[in-house]
Amino acid sequence: QVQLVESGGGLVQAGGSLRLSCSASGSIGSINAMGWYRQAPGKQRELVAGFTRSGATNYADSVKGRFTISRDNAKNTVNLQMNSLKPEDTAVYYCAAQYGSLWYNRWGQGTQVTVSS
């Protein structure tokens, strides 16, 4: 079993920055990949950035060049540095993990990110 807890959400003005952190606990050895999803009101949940055990990363086109996913193995955390934030980035951001699977099947409770114009 694995548990994911997000932190770092909040309210920021357009052009500002936020750093989200996801702390993983439990059977972390069974995690194949971790990433960040977001869901805006009235829209489907989308993958923002992913980070595999091998170190490969991928980003949604809408955030590439502005967001950076990273990991801190010492703290069992995955981070998302969000720069040059736009109002359209407003969403609930979820930490997600592929737990013994090729599909994201474990989720944190989410953290609200609101970008004002």
The residue whose two tokens read 């990363």 is 57
Tell me the pLDDT tens digit for each residue of 6-40: 999 999 999 999 999 999 999 988 888 899 999 99
Supply the pLDDT for residue 51: 84
Percent of the chain with pLDDT over 90: 79
Longest CA–CA span in the chain (Å) reads: 41
Buried b or exposed e, range 7-35, using 16+ CB within 10 angstroms: ebbeebeeeeebebbbbbeeeeeebebbb
